[in-house]
Amino acid sequence: MAGRIPHTFIDELMTRVDIVEVIDSRVPLKKAGREYTACCPFHNEKTPSFTVSPNKQFYHCFGCGEHGTAVGFLMEYEHLSFPEAVEELARQVGLEVPYEGPTHTEPQQRQRNDNLYDLLAQSDRYYRRQLRQHPQGSRAVDYLKQRGLSGEIAAEFGLGFAPPGWDNLQRELGSTAERQEQLITTGMLIRKDDGKSYDRFRDRIMFPIRDRRGRTIAFGGRILPDSQESGAKEPAKYLNSPETPLFHKGQELYGLYETRQALRDIPRLLVVEGYMDVVALAQFDIRYAVATLGTATTQEHLNRLFRVTPEVVFCFDGDRAGRDAAWRALNNALPIMREGRQIRFMFLPEGDDPDTRVRAVEKAGFEADIETALNFSDFFFQHLGKLADTSSIDGRAQLVEQARPLLKLLPPGVFRHMMTEQLARLARLETAELESLLARADQSVAVGKTNQGHTAQHQGRKPLSPVRMALLRLLYRPELAQLAGAPQRFTDLDIPGVNLLVEVLEILQENPKLNSSALLERWRGTENGSHLEKLASWEPEVTTNESLEQEFSGALAQLDQQRLQHRCDFLLARSNQGELTPEEKRELQELFATLNRDKRQNAVKNRE
- Contacting positions for Zn ion (CB under 5 A): 40, 42-43, 61, 63-64
Residue whose CB is less far from Zn ion, 61 or 289: 61
Q: Is 208 helix (H, G, I), strand (E, B) or coil?
A: strand
Task: Provide, rounded to whole angstroms, the least separation between the CB of residue 336 and Zn ion.
Answer: 12
Q: How far is the CB of 451 from Zn ion (least distance, A)?
A: 15
How remote is the C-alpha of 116 from its chain's centroid?
25
The least CB distance from residue 236 to Zn ion, in Å, is 40
Query: Which residue, 42 or 219, has its beta carbon nearer to Zn ion?
Result: 42
- The interaxial angle of helices 320-333 and 299-308, nearest 10 deg, is 80
Name the 3-class secondary structure at 199.
Answer: strand
Q: What is the spatial distance between Cα 377 and Cα 390, in angstroms, rounded to a whole number? A: 16
Helices 466-476 and 498-510, axial angle in degrees (round to 10): 30
| Minimum CB–partner distance for residue 50 and Zn ion (Å) | 6
| Residue 457 or 547 having the CB closest to Zn ion | 457
Q: What distance in Å separates the CA atoms of residue 513 and residue 420, rounded to the nearest whole number?
A: 51
342-347, strands of its sheet edge to edge = 289-291, 269-272, 311-316, 342-347, 374-375
Question: For residue 533, what is the DSSP state?
Answer: H
Strand pairing category for 30-32 and 35-38: antiparallel
Using CA atoms in the order 312, 245, 88, 96, what is the torsion angle rounded to 10 degrees? 180
Q: 293 vs 336, which CB is nearer to Zn ion?
A: 336
Closest contact distance (angstroms) between CB of 339 and Zn ion is 12
Least CB distance to Zn ion at residue 447 (A): 20
Q: Radius of gyration of the chain from Cα atoms?
A: 31
307 versus 359: smaller Cβ distance to Zn ion: 307
Exposed e or buried b per residue across 569-579, where buried means at least 16 C-beta atoms within 10 angstroms of its C-beta: eebeeeeeeee
Instruction: Name the residue nearer to Zn ion (CB basis): 48 or 385.
Output: 48
Distance CA 28, CA 24 (A): 4
Output b/e per residue, 307-339; b: 16+ Cβ within 10 A.
ebbbbbbbbbbeeeebbebbbebbebbbebbbb
CB 200 within 8 A of CB 207: no
Nearer to Zn ion, 160 or 411 (CB): 411
Least Å distance between CB 60 and Zn ion?
Answer: 9
43 vs 416, beta carbon nearer Zn ion: 43
Least CB distance to Zn ion at residue 35 (A): 15
In terms of CB distance, is 40 or 119 closer to Zn ion?
A: 40
Q: Work out how close the CB of 39 gets to Zn ion at its nearest, in angstroms, rounded to a whole number.
A: 8
Q: Which residues of 376-413 are buried (b: 16+ CB within 10 A; e: fewer)?
A: beebbbebbeeebeeeeeeebebbbeebeeebbebbbb
Residue 198 three-state SS:
strand
What is the number of residues in the chain?
Answer: 608
- In whole angstroms, the minimum distance from the beta carbon of 174 to Zn ion comes to 46
Give the residue with the Cβ less far from Zn ion, 39 or 361: 39
Residue closer to Zn ion by CB (options 63, 540) is 63
Give the torsion through C-alpha atoms of 564, 569, 575, 581, to 10 deg.
Answer: -30
Q: Report the nearest approach of Zn ion to the CB of residue 51 (Å).
A: 10
**C-alpha–C-alpha distance, residues 485 and 589, integer Å:** 23
Q: From start to end of 242-362, where are the E strands? A: 269-272, 289-291, 311-316, 342-347
The least distance separating Zn ion from the CB of residue 45, rounded to whole angstroms, comes to 7
Phi, psi angle pair for 52, to nearest 5°:
-125, 125
**Euclidean distance between CA atoms 303 and 326, whole angstroms:** 18
Q: Please, which residue, 43 or 222, has the CB nearer to Zn ion?
A: 43
